[in-house]
A and B are shown apart, each in its own frame.
Chain A
């Protein structure tokens, strides 16, 4: 999941011109992901990973790095599975 997300950020958000992000880079604080970037990231997560992120979970803590975002998404998937069973 991390690799997929990094590829999306590098290719689509940084337009291939970027330096390449790593798992722990502070993508929110360093400005890599701007407001439009957040929207595109959410679309990507919904379309490619099949997870809809509720508005109240779109927080700085969850989006601060690729690592934190993937950790949140795994937790979210578990939560949804538990709720469904």
Chain B
């Protein structure tokens, strides 16, 4: 052991599975992933994911094939994502709590014919079969689980080699696709390559000085892009990643105790979770000296609550992380405690190393300090494009010809920002009606369209309002048809059957008329300014 190098990564790493291979070579017994009482060392993670890869290839999986991961958070998720990539295939995480119709859409849209899943998901598989989805094989399902599709159990894979298969995969090939909702009302798949994901892992491991002694939280589910730092930044550093079980995200007092008992050193989460942890009594009397870094991103963080939580974790560096899923990450703002007292809104900071930004007005000219414009980003962490959507790609990418007449590819974030005097950027909002609520991307127009699709609804309007804590909440208002007798709960039930839980409005207010603009359009801005006072849900704390 004395001969091992100072870093787990002394050799060439160009595919994500190499991260695990090299961490295992460095110290196979070091904990890679923990979940509840269970653990996978880097040696075990490498063996199991390699066996899955061989099993997939033996079953006919081709390079570039998309394979879905339909799992609740757990150790198998880690095995699945590395196993799929080790087979030269592309992993597509699917929200296991989504309605069957949404899962079916995603499976069809992405051309998925195989899933890594579990016995616990058999009901969801039956839902898919009812939707008319045909699958070739599901993996991780035992023989007696009554799967509607041909299945391969984990036990069936133990005979395969415990080393990476020989592949022609390059760093330019796709490694995962993350789905969000799209502005046309249908979700779109954001395609990342080994290079773009590995660049993000390298940037974060370096900037945040991640090392083997670090214990990194995995708060976000796999289909949420925060998870890529937890898994790949962690593996790049040979660190331990602790998967936070889903129910802990609903119980901040339990989450706080888990952070302490697991001795987490890096906690990466959404602002909403920090707002919850800031509540009185939650972080008191806990031993949190080991927590050195608190990263948060996904939506704006209310400064008032940030101050509260920072006072309770006096030794940690807090960092506001910004970047659309298309870019993994763009800018960050490490918070200077001495300046926080005077700030009302939190900057998104400056670009990471190896990232270049432009802020352009409508005419494509760079804007000055205090002015606003769209943020454009040039970065090695940039996506390849949107799955199956060439037309969408044209809007997402923008060629800028500057140095030496060479055209460079920038990503148009669609976010409005303003350069500050000190060189940081301030975030002003989305340019369209796409919002982030509790870290999840929601298209308000999509929610509206689904509400309006209900035959009892005559007109509908959906908008976002910050609650007392500054977190965006989705509200809806509806005008019913003359003969209708439906109630709020019926409409909420209708929305829940078609949308993920985070996209369902906290309340629907029935009205007889809407405020209108001069051109007769529904005036959602007026609604936003005067949200209905009778709304009850979600206002607590």
Contact = CB atoms under 8 A, between A and B. Distances in A.
Contacts of B536: 43
A15 B488 CA distance: 11
A38 B253 contact: no
A58 B537 contact: no
Nearest to A63: B251
A39 interface: yes
Interface in A26-59: 28-29, 31, 33-36, 38-40, 42-43, 54-59
A33 B249 CA distance: 12
A55 B249 contact: no
B279 A35 contact: no
Interface string B521-541: 000000000000000111011
A59 to B, nearest CB: 5
B378 to A, nearest CB: 38
Nearest to B256: A56
Contact of B538 (A36, A54, A55): A36
B250 A28 contact: yes
B206 interface: no
Contacts of A17: 493
B281 interface: yes
Given A15-B493, A28-B250, A36 B281 contact: no
A61 B492 CA distance: 29
A9 to B, nearest CB: 14
Interface in B243-279: 247-254, 257, 279
Contacts of A36: 506, 537-538
Contacts of B454: none
A77 interface: no
Contacts of A28: 247, 250-251
Contacts of B284: 56
A55 B537 contact: no
B281 A56 contact: yes
B250 A55 contact: no
A17 to B, nearest CB: 7
Interface string A12-25: 00010100000000
Contacts of A1: none
Contact of B253 (A31, A33, A42, A56): A56
B465 to A, nearest CB: 16
A55 B279 CA distance: 7
Interface in A51-83: 54-61, 63
Interface of A is mostly: helix
A54 B537 contact: no
A55 B541 CA distance: 10
Contact of B252 (A40, A54, A58): A58
Contacts of B538: 36, 39
Contacts of A57: 253
Contacts of B97: 31
Nearest to A55: B279
Nearest to B272: A35
Interface in B484-523: 489, 492-493, 501, 506
Contacts of A54: 280-281
A43 B540 contact: yes
B306 interface: no
A35 B254 contact: no
A55 B540 contact: no
Contacts of A39: 537-538, 540
A26 to B, nearest CB: 9
Given A34-B501, A36-B538, A29 B247 contact: yes
Nearest to B247: A28
B279 A60 contact: no
B282 interface: yes
A58 B489 contact: no
B493 A58 contact: no
A69 to B, nearest CB: 12
Contact of B250 (A15, A34, A40, A61): A34
Given A15-B489, A17-B493, A55-B281, A35 B253 contact: no
Contacts of A56: 253, 281-282, 284
Contacts of A63: 251
A60 B256 CA distance: 12
A35 B249 contact: yes
Counting from the closest, the 3 A-B pairs by CB-CB distance are: A56-B281, A55-B279, A60-B254
Interface of B: 97, 247-254, 257, 279-282, 284, 489, 492-493, 501, 506, 536-538, 540-541
Given A28-B247, A54-B280, A55-B279, 11 more contacts: A29-B247, A36-B537, A40-B537, A55-B252, A55-B253, A56-B253, A56-B281, A56-B282, A59-B253, A59-B257, A63-B251
14 contacts: A15-B489, A28-B247, A28-B251, A34-B501, A38-B250, A38-B251, A42-B540, A55-B280, A56-B284, A58-B251, A59-B251, A59-B253, A60-B248, A60-B254
